[in-house]
């Protein structure tokens, strides 16, 4: 297996320091930030960082022992020749940077944080640029690689809760939730109905119908709780993914049984798991669990929920015709 060279563009919170905020939440597996995830992951080495702010570059160097630091990401690409580039800039700059990396050539994969971009037009352009130049675009909605959620998906596909019919998230309509929904649905979203639960338009609830008939529901409140519901049982994630359980039936008596969902054999953070999976994608030419299209759909559903609310709860078919719409 090759050892791939990785670089981070945007050496601030998501790229480097977010784990500092989580020291009092020990039930999570870390790292979440991109730089330490590269340090921990197998098959990749962190070789460079780029940021417009010299202080952030100095902190990046101190934390991760990286000496190849740049304020111009194009110069970094030319000098360091990374195989994988994380883009953890602010959303407004993300499309320009991703397209610039793809057009520069040489990079095999871009691992961009969510949201994919502010507008649908920008998301379209990012996906097209990466397609045109043969670059794998992966969106860092890393719950899609969580060993626990993947164990849930495996149980669903094995029929352990009967026919899978719907999903519920009690917390938010954000990119992590909607990309995970897309992975579990196994089909694109068909239409959306939405409602805004706050004056600022941040908290949104609604329903999503997927092309295969699966239904997704978003409600506000809760501690990022998920339920995956089948005809004969369900799987639940509680307390911000600290607890997983399955309800199913005894194969002989039909009695309802609740059990704690078994932990994966290798307990690592979803961010580290995502990067190790990306390495495997490059080695084997396989598909990623969260391609650019999933990130674009997450953005589009969030926008459609808002537009549905503004139109009195109208059902909106996807994809949206107006590609100038943005999340702002």
Domain boundary assignment for the chain: 4-141+272-284, 144-260
User: pTM of this prediction?
Assistant: 0.94
Task: Categorise residue 213: left if φ over 0, alpha if ψ from -120 to 50, beta otherwise.
Answer: left
In angstroms, rounded to a whole number, what is the distance separating the alpha carbons of residues 33 and 56?
Answer: 14
> In this structure, are residues 11 and 49 in contact, taking their beta carbons and an 8 Å threshold?
yes
CATH 3.40.50.720 assigned to 4-141+272-284: yes
Kindly give the confidence (pLDDT) of every residue in the chain, 328 residues in length, as a single tens digit, with 9 standing for 90 and above.
579 999 999 999 999 999 999 777 766 788 999 999 999 999 999 999 999 999 999 999 999 999 999 999 999 999 999 999 999 999 999 999 999 999 999 999 999 999 999 999 999 999 999 999 999 999 999 999 998 999 999 999 999 999 999 999 987 768 899 999 999 999 999 999 999 887 665 678 999 999 999 999 999 877 789 999 999 999 999 877 878 999 988 888 988 889 877 666 667 899 999 999 999 999 999 999 999 999 999 999 999 999 999 999 999 999 999 999 999 7
Q: Give CA 23 to chain center in angstroms.
A: 22
Handedness of CA 285, 179, 41, 132 (dihedral sign): positive
CATH of 144-260, one of 1.10.1200.10, 3.30.360.10, 1.10.540.10, 3.40.50.300: 3.30.360.10
Give the residue carrying structure tokens 């969510």: 114
């Amino acid at each position: 297996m090759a050892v791939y060279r990785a670089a981070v563009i945007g050496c601030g919170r998501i790229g480097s320091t977010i784990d500092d905020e989580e020291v009092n939440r020990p039930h999570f597996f870390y790292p979440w930030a991109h730089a330490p995830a590269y340090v921990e992951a197998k098959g990749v080495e962190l070789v460079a960082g780029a940021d417009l702010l010299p202080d952030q570059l100095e902190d990046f160097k101190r934390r991760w022992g990286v000496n190849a630091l740049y304020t111009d990401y194009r110069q970094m690409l030319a000098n360091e020749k990374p195989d994988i580039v994380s883009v953890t800039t602010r959303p407004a700059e993300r499309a320009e940077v991703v397209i610039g990396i793809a057009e520069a050539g040489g990079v095999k994969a871009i691992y961009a944080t969510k949201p994919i971009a502010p507008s649908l037009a920008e998301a379209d352009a990012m996906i097209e640029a990466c397609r045109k130049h043969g670059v794998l675009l992966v969106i860092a909605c890393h719950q899609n690689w969580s060993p626990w959620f993947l164990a849930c998906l495996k149980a669903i596909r094995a029929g352990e809760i009967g026919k899978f019919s719907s999903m519920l998230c009690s917390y938010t309509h954000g990119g992590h939730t909607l990309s995970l929904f897309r992975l579990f649905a196994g089909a694109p979203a068909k239409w959306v109905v939405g409602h805004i639960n706050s004056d600022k338009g941040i908290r949104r609830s609604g329903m999503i119908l997927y092309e295969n008939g699966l239904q997704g529901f978003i409600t506000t409140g809760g501690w990022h709780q998920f339920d995956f519901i089948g005809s004969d049982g369900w799987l639940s994630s509680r307390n911000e993914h600290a607890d997983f359980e399955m309800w199913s039936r005894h194969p002989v008596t039909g009695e309802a049984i609740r059990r704690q969902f078994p932990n994966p054999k290798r307990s690592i953070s979803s961010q580290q798991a995502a990067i190790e999976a990306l390495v495997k994608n490059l080695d084997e030419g396989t598909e990623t669990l969260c391609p650019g299209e999933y990130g674009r759909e997450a953005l589009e559903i969030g926008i459609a929920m808002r537009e549905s609310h503004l139109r009195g709860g109208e059902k909106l078919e996807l994809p949206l015709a107006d590609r100038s719409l943005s999340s702002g």
